[in-house]
Amino acid sequence: MKTQRAIQEHAMRLFTERGYDATTVADIAAAAEVSSMTVFRHFPTKEDLVMADEYDPVIIDAIRARPADEPLLRRIGAALVETTADHDVADRAILLARLRLGLSVPALRERMWDGQYRSQCRIVEALRGESPDPDVEFELWVATGACLAAVSAALIRWAEHDGEEDLPGLMTTALDLLTATPPSGITRRQP
């Protein structure tokens, strides 16, 4: 895990300094003082150097640790905020670099949204139980998708402001909008 983290930190630094396309796996291996084979053992593709993370199991554990009778949006949203609040300075630096690269490099942007969908699948699977009721499963899909979309909007804003805003606070604000009355000037369609 230590080697994997070091490789990813060097990759993010080099991608930021030189650009994603201009940085080779050999460059990253040299900076991390490992072989290219070691890089590929930890990260099968160049895109994985940016997009690979271990957040889903942590998020799922945080959701499961919340009260089961808590409203679903709050349960999922609070777990997402809690896990982000636990990030140290190094984790946030990597997250900021990942977001910037993910938003600016088309292949990475595609992987970023694919990763969000995979996260949604894993969270729904973890919450639905062994024999899910189709209506409950649909509710899980909607709530999880809404929470992830709100958090994504907060992450994008945070990245656009160079990581200087309070990320857990932005996430909380975004999640609160899911249940808030629309601001003036915005009207909801009546059924």
pLDDT in tens, the chain (191 residues): 789 989 999 999 999 999 999 999 999 999 999 999 999 999 999 999 998 888 889 999 999 999 989 999 999 999 999 999 988 888 898 899 999 999 999 989 999 999 999 999 999 999 987 777 899 999 999 999 999 999 999 999 999 999 999 999 999 999 999 988 666 666 655 55
Both tokens of 56, joined, read 């889903």
End-to-end CA distance of the chain: 52
Number of domains in the chain: 2
The whole domain housing 40 covers 1-45
* CATH number for position 68: 1.10.357.10
Structural domain contains residue 187: no
Q: Do 74 and 160 fall within a single domain?
A: yes
Both tokens of 2, joined, read 């230590």
Tokens 């595609």 correspond to 110
* CATH number for position 6: 1.10.10.60
Q: Do 14 and 75 fall within a single domain?
A: no
Q: Do 12 and 63 fall within a single domain?
A: no
Instruction: Work out the number of other CB atoms within 10 angstroms of the CB of residue 3.
Output: 14
Q: Do 141 and 73 fall within a single domain?
A: yes
- CA 30 vs. chain centroid, Å, equals 28
Determine the pLDDT at residue 90: 85
Both tokens of 26, joined, read 């050999």
Q: How far is CA 91 from CA 5, 85, 107, in A?
A: 10, 11, 23
Q: Do 153 and 83 fall within a single domain?
A: yes
Strand, helix or coil at 52?
Answer: coil
Both tokens of 75, joined, read 């349960």
Give the DSSP per-residue string, 88-127.
-HHHHHHHHHHHHHHHHSHHHHHHHHHHHHHHHHHHHHHH
Determine the pLDDT at residue 132: 78
CA–CA distance, 74 with 67 (Å, rounded to integer): 10
* Run of H or E including 139: helix 134-160
Residue at 42: amino acid letter: H
Structural domain contains residue 66: yes
Q: Do 72 and 125 fall within a single domain?
A: yes
Determine the pLDDT at residue 18: 94
